[in-house]
Amino acid sequence: MQTILIVEDEPGIADTLVYVLEQEGFATRWVQLAGDALELLEQEPIDAVLLDIGLPDASGLETCKQIRAKWTVPILFLTARKEEIDRIIGLEIGADDYISKPFSPREVAARVKAVLRRTQANQITSQPAGQGECEQQQCGPFLLNLTTHSISYHNQVLELTPYEYRILRTLLSQPERVFSRAQLLDNMSDTPLPSLDRSVDSHIRSLRAKLTMVNQENQPVCTRRGFGYFLKVQA
């Protein structure tokens, strides 16, 4: 049974989320403070976090940064803020989804399931020898492993978020082809995401930084100004 941590200071909202998620077969933990959430993450395995932005003891945005510094658990923001800039910031600092209040509890449950599916599909897993072949695709210095959903660059496995993995996989599928932001956004998720060009740009910046850490001589993710991004493969 997967466990969902709800970080929400309003008991009425939390009670509704607990009921809906447990009806869907999840176990739940509920805390009202950011500090309590961080302590709980240290103590037991959590599969996803529903994180309110407006918490009494800390900003949910800052709490997200603290979680991301230590854990890769999926994070879904809950907030009454609807401005586009808030959604952009949430995605840029590592949130996997963003849900504005008021929301449908059934929608929240559906989004939790979708995020967990994406995360599980992109986790790097190990496979014992002799238990099936790994489907791999070599593209210059990149090695895409479709079995483990991982990508290596110059023989080093990249630590990618699910969104970064999907963007790079898309670019690797057709090197030199220019993909628009809209096309990359479509391939980032199984469910529709807000059409935020800046969120794509943010993931591209993070992806480039990780590639540069492995090899500073070349930057394979290139920009075609006014059109989008493409992958320039060099041996």
pLDDT averaged over the chain?
Answer: 82
Residue 128 above 70 pLDDT? no
Amino acid at 36: D
The model's confidence at residue 91, banded by pLDDT at 50, 70 and 90, is low
Residue 44 above 80 pLDDT? yes
Q: Which domains occur in the chain, in start order?
A: 3-121 (3.40.50.2300), 136-231 (1.10.10.10)
Q: What is the pLDDT of residues 190-233, one digit of tens each?
A: 444 444 456 788 889 999 999 999 998 889 999 998 889 999 87
The model's confidence at residue 114, banded by pLDDT at 50, 70 and 90, is confident
pTM over 0.85: no
**Mean of pLDDT values over 156-172:** 89
